[in-house]
Amino acid sequence: MSEYKVLAINPGSTSTKVAVFKGEEKLFSENVEHAAEDLAKFKEVSDQLEFRFGMIKDMLKEQNIDLSDLDAVVGHGGGLMSCEGGVYTINDVLFDHAVRGANGVQHPAQLGPQIAKLFSDEYNCPAFVVNPPDTDEAIPEARLTGIKGVLKPMHVHALNQKETAIVHSKKMGKKYEECNYIVAHIGGGTSIAAHRKGKMIDGNDIVGGDGPMTPTRSGSITVSGLVEYIFDNGLDKKAAKALATKTGGFINLLGTNDARDVIKMGEEGNKFAELVWNTMIYQIIKQIGAMAAALHGEVDGILLGGGMVHNKELVAKLTEACSFIAPVYAYPGEFEMEAMASGAARVLDGEEEAKTYTGELVYDIKDFM
């Protein structure tokens, strides 16, 4: 990889991660914190743009970070319509969709392309997004449901999943596009996808609470059971969605969203906490098995990533249960900043061609009616 200087920006709910890379070397990394009371002043996520951009610029100036020789800037891309994976140039359509949150989901990641564009204009360099959250490469059979007009979306940790697969492929002396993987990102949200020859052909919808139980998500449950619960407890639409994605899982069952608390409870003799922990692992194993079937058993490796993969017991149990499918490899933590920088470098190197974001869905709804 050439020694390109790349600025990576990843906005979160109460902070913005900023990193500068020179080739594969991380020259600088900082997490710019934003006070909740300051963010509360803004009605929409995109209204925070100038506020966050100003804080980032002030921080870079205070740290004497020179961006005069910047080759590219990358922002985590939120608010977009479903699209294929890859590196996208931030054009007018992509910028507009990020501002509006065209996919209907208000999330701080919308600010990634917007902040990146402001930096690229200032330093006269290209701006990109890499494998945005709405990357959707599902095959039709993974999209259709038994209710007319209701399609199953796929939302996974595309940026980290694909980077893990790309890095692993290089270690194996292969290209990502030559391999079949099951990649599991296990953390506050857990996403598991089947990667076939460079495309994620199937996976769960973490935005909708689909898949295994997590610290904050209910995981997949029976539709009739959920409907009955909603009506019996008088939940409105907002509360019902929150149960699936924000207040379910460990929070609902044990009152904590910290996996370490759950493990400690189990070690101290709380049998229910132990059951909850083992149930989550069991559901992850089942989802990995489902993705193995989606790949017809042709799996080159099972790659585990995300914060919970630091837990050796979790990795050991998943390895014991799933190694009959393929070798299991652990890549604990997240590599989102590195993934954004390496994506930009691949384009600048000519290894990969930047794609044009059109805003059009990757599928035709008429095909499912």
Rounded mean pLDDT, 42-56: 95
- Domain range for residue 37? 5-135+337-368
CATH number of the structural domain spanning residue 219: 3.30.420.40
pLDDT at residue 152, rounded to an integer: 92
DSSP 148: T
The predicted pLDDT at position 1 comes to 55
Residue 58 lies in a domain: yes
**In terms of domains, do 188 and 62 share one?**
no
Does one domain contain both 319 and 349?
Answer: no
The mean pLDDT value for 273-295 works out to 98
| pLDDT on residue 188 | 86
Neighbouring residues of 9: CB distance < 8 A, sequence distance ≥ 6: 16, 17, 18, 56, 73, 74, 75, 76, 112, 115, 116, 119
Domain total for the chain?
2
- Verify that 346 and 319 share a domain, yes or no: no
Q: Calculate ∠ Cα 357-362-368, nearest 5°.
A: 160
237-250 confidence digits (pLDDT tens): 999 999 998 899 99
pLDDT band with cut points at 50, 70 and 90 for residue 366: confident
Average pLDDT over residues 34-51: 92
- Give a yes or no: residue 144 inside a domain: no
Assess whether pLDDT exceeds 60 at residue 351. Answer: yes
Residues 19 and 86 in one domain: yes
Of 133, 140, 99, the closest CA to residue 118 belongs to 99
Mean pLDDT of the chain: 94
Residues 349, 297 share a domain = no
pLDDT tens digits for range 128-145: 999 998 999 999 999 999
pLDDT score at 73: 98
Are residues 299 and 341 part of one domain? no
Is the confidence at residue 201, as pLDDT, over 80?
Answer: yes
CA separation for the pair 338, 291 (Å, rounded): 26
Asked if residue 153 is part of any domain, the answer here is: no
Q: Please indicate, yes or no, if residue 170 is contained in any of the structural domains.
A: yes
Pair (241, 320) in one structural domain:
yes
Residue 167 sits in the same domain as residue 271: yes
- Considering the domain architecture, whether residues 303 and 350 belong to the same structural domain is answered as no
Q: Tens digit of pLDDT for each residue in 143-198?
A: 999 999 899 988 999 999 999 999 999 999 999 999 999 999 999 889 999 999 99
Does the pLDDT value for residue 369 go beyond 90? no
